[in-house]
Amino acid sequence: MADQSRRYPRDFQGHGADRPDAAWPGGARIAVSFVLNYEEGGENCLLHGDAASEAFLSEIVGAAPWPGQRHWNMESIYDYGARAGFWRLHRLFTETRVPVTVYGVATALARSPAQVEAMQGAGWEIASHGLKWIDYKDHSPEDEAADMDAAIKLHTEVTGNRPKGWYTGRCSVNTVALASERGFDWISDTYDDDLPYWTRIADKDQLIIPYTLDCNDMRFATPQGFNSGDQFFAYLRDSFDALYAEGVAGKSAMMSIGLHCRLIGRPGRVQALRKFIDYVQGHEGVWCARRADIATHWAQAHPPQATRGWHLMDKASFVDAFGGIFEHSPWIAEGAWALELGPAHDTPQGLHSALCRVFRAASDDQRMEVLRAHPDLAGKLAAAKRLTAESTSEQASAGLDALTDAEREQFDSQNSAYVAMHGFPFIIAVKDHDKAGILRAFERRIANDTATEFAEACRQVERIARLRLEAL
């Protein structure tokens, strides 16, 4: 394996510029996932064994933890979510027949048997939102894992079923890996895409269904958030319209909407959600789905594919695979391997970028050696069948392996004149040209000064490298 200290773990490539069509059931143009976070009774509170009161996502702007004290107002705001907000949302979703995924904090679910029964009666999916609604950024992996195991156990006791989906929210850098170890069908502790995707964790293909913090009622309780229901509705509508249009164009995606009983469940806000549901249901080709349904579809329609994993290759394997991308110049592959490579380099354009960085950083003498390593077009090496496999294929693609005697003489003459003038062979990405086009380029470039031709030859070498990588 590669030196992991030189490998960058974040993935900036994802589905890439040409993301796949999700192929949602029934040809839907968009999948819409409504998520209800059930946290009331699982938040920081002295009654729950915590050191301080809750301070996050409430009507108390700028709230701070109260160490060693219960915060009566904070507790009552959370209580509103369970006592009133939940039931208002339950009525709305059941009346409109919209399926819901619940992110259920296990201790909160245990303290709310009536709400759990209502969730199950409505056919809602109940995924795990952890043991408690607390921040795990400072937890050790062992302590976080212990809480995960306790959450799974309690969730199973309360609901009768082991959770199949996971979302911590206030997570650590270890959360996704720890959740994957525990065999969840899907994990949502990322915000990095508009589609589900597979990621390799240890020796397992893990399905990730990204969540959202922008199409989320939490912004009613944060700076620069939503001040009114109209703002929330407008933002959801615009997000839906953009994604729906992409679906019409053949690139369907997913929209997640994050909700909280104590926030959107207030009467002054719930009408915005009702308006949005009406708006969504006024469009054809919309699939409102639970995350479990999205996971099942994705696993069937888009199963995990073997990844290239180029950035994780050991040095010898990497150089063996890519040492000939720049003609007879394995030192370029060696230099690329030593760079900070990551998942974004597991593509032709990504690896090409790394190889070109090494080539461009080299001295003029080193780059000149690369140019001189290239064979003459249709020259003596070709006639003697001593070209590399790559060069043989490239020259054949332009018909240079089937020249008439007159054409071969013309190439020999041009080759000799060009080398005599510039000191390196004429280089051109032959896959971009036919035989006649190559000869015209010969005639056009042979009169250039050597500095101009050196720069052009280097560009052509990079182009040849890109074509070779794409051929892989």
3 state SS of 201? strand
CB 338 within 8 A of CB 28: no
- Asked if residues 345 and 311 have their Cβ atoms less than 8 Å apart, the reply is yes
Q: Are strands 197-201 and 204-208 parallel, antiparallel or unpaired?
A: antiparallel
Q: Catalytic residue among 311, 374, 422, 433, which?
A: 374
Question: Among 228, 212, 239, which Cα is nearest to 272's?
Answer: 228
3-state SS class at 425 = coil
* Nearest by Cα to 86 from 276, 279, 270: 270
Q: Which helix (H) or strand (E) holds 99?
A: none
Q: What is the longest distance spanned by two Cα atoms in the chain?
A: 96
Bridge partner residues of 127 (DSSP): 103
Amino acid at 32: V
Which distant-in-sequence residues (6+ apart) come within 8 Å of 225 by Cβ?
Answer: 218, 219
User: Would you call 374 a catalytic residue per the annotation?
Assistant: yes
Rounded distance, CA 59 to CA 56, Å?
A: 9
DSSP conformational letter for 292: H
Residue 236 makes CB contacts below 8 A (sequence gap 6+) with 215, 257, 272, 276
- CA 185 to chain centroid: 18
The token duo for 347 is 């593509």
* Burial tier of 52 (Cβ tally within 10 Å: 0-12, 13-18, 19+): middle
Catalytic positions, written as ranges: 374
